[in-house]
Amino acid sequence: MAAAPTSAQSPARSPARSTGALQIKQLIRRRYARLAGADAFQPDPRATALAAGCPTAWYDALPARAAQAFSGCGWPAGDLDPTGIETIIDLGCGGGLDSRFLAERLNKNALVLALDLTPEVLDRARETLTGVAGATVRLLAADLEQLPLADACADAVIANAALNLATEAQAAFAEIARVLRPGGRLVAADLVRVGALPAEILADPMAMATSLGGVMEEADLLAVIEDAGLNNVAITGHRPFGPVIAVNISATR
Ligand SMILES: C[S@@+](CC[C@H](N)C(=O)[O-])C[C@H]1O[C@@H](n2cnc3c(N)ncnc32)[C@H](O)[C@@H]1O
């Protein structure tokens, strides 16, 4: 595995960032750094991972530290047909389980780019991904709303419980549309809400850092994805996830 981040291939777009958005990102980074340090991504990561669709035998064969690091709300790695993929980006890769699953299924000429905002989380991904057979894996510390990557550089993008943490969902999906090549695929697990969030969540200043504050209604999410220029958008597989609903998103460029 290449330990160093990839260098930028072209300048990232630089949308204006409000002070509020930057503060929220700092809260997100601190929260995930703390969770990574305390090995506390989930109270019961095995139960959460298996409920999310992670194959039992594969999960149970993981090194213990990797198995602890699941923090997703679905299993996009399993939903994606790896045929024809040479470059895939895992946005908000966390502890790197989706990246590992895909790397094992791709050949050595393929590249899995595991990207996260939080350096301490990327350290966990490095542990999960070191020595994995199959594709080349690179780690990249970056913001999924401002990707330091060239246009049309990826055949596929996955994201597991990460897009809902974007402070500007429009920027996140515009970046996905930009880095996917024509015909490239997005496969993600994410969250939607029905109606307003519960009052205690709305009143919680940490809500934006805990995946919930930015959760959109499904129709709004669909509109944002389509406005970004993605096609064949499908939001499926609705399942309860705490006070919100986990869904699978697929789309093509
Ligand atoms: C709920 S965790 C999911 C991690 C992983 N995908 C999984 O399924 O275990 C969300 C991850 O997104 C990362 N994240 C949050 N905002 C981000 C951003 N703007 N850019 C990149 N990563 C981000 C966090 O650091 C965290 O690792």
| Domain covering 19-252, topology | Rossmann fold (3.40.50)
**Ligand 1 pocket test, candidate residues 22, 31, 71, 129, most atoms within 8 A of CB:** 71
* 136's tokens: 């080349």
Tell me the CA end-to-end span of the chain in Å, nearest whole number.
29
For residue 241, CA distances in Å to 136, 137, 190, 210, 214 come to 33, 30, 10, 13, 15
Ligand 1 centre and the CA of 253: distance in Å?
A: 23
CA 69 to ligand 1: nearest atom = 9
Q: Where are the alpha helices (DSSP H) in the chain?
A: 19-38, 45-52, 56-60, 64-68, 76-79, 97-105, 119-129, 169-179, 199-202, 218-227
How high is the mean pLDDT in each 10-residue block of the chain (253 residues)? 44 60 91 92 94 97 96 97 96 98 96 98 97 96 98 98 96 98 98 89 78 88 98 97 95 98
Q: Are strands 244-252 and 180-193 parallel, antiparallel or unpaired?
A: antiparallel
CA distance 249 to 159: 9
- What separation in Å is there between the alpha carbon of 200 and the centre of ligand 1? 23
Please list every protein residue whose CB sits less than 6 Å from any atom of ligand 1: 28, 32, 70-72, 92-95, 97-98, 116-118, 121, 143-145, 160-162, 165-166, 211
Under a CB-based contact definition with an 8 Å cutoff, are residues 185 and 155 in contact? yes
Give distance in angstroms: CA of 138 to centre of ligand 1: 16
Residue 231 CA to ligand 1 centre (angstroms):
24
Give the mutation target among 68, 99, 117 for probing the ligand 1 site: most ligand atoms within 8 A of CB. 117
Residues in the chain: 253
Identify how many contiguous H helices and E strands the chain contains and give both numbers: 10, 8
Residue 114 burial class via C-beta count within 10 angstroms: exposed 0-12, middle 13-18, buried 19 and up: buried
The confidence score (pLDDT) of residue 9 equals 41
Distance (Å) from CA 133 to ligand 1 centroid = 24
Residue nearest to atom 5 of ligand 1 (CA): 94
Amino acid identity for residue 78 in this structure: G
What angle (nearest 5°) sits at the alpha carbon of residue 122, between those of residues 120 and 128? 115
Residue whose Cα lies nearest atom 13 of ligand 1: it is 92
Taking the C-alpha atoms of residue 18 and residue 90, their distance in angstroms, rounded to an integer, is: 26
Say what the alpha-carbon torsion angle 197, 24, 225, 52 is, to the nearest 10 degrees: -70
| Residue 198 DSSP symbol | P
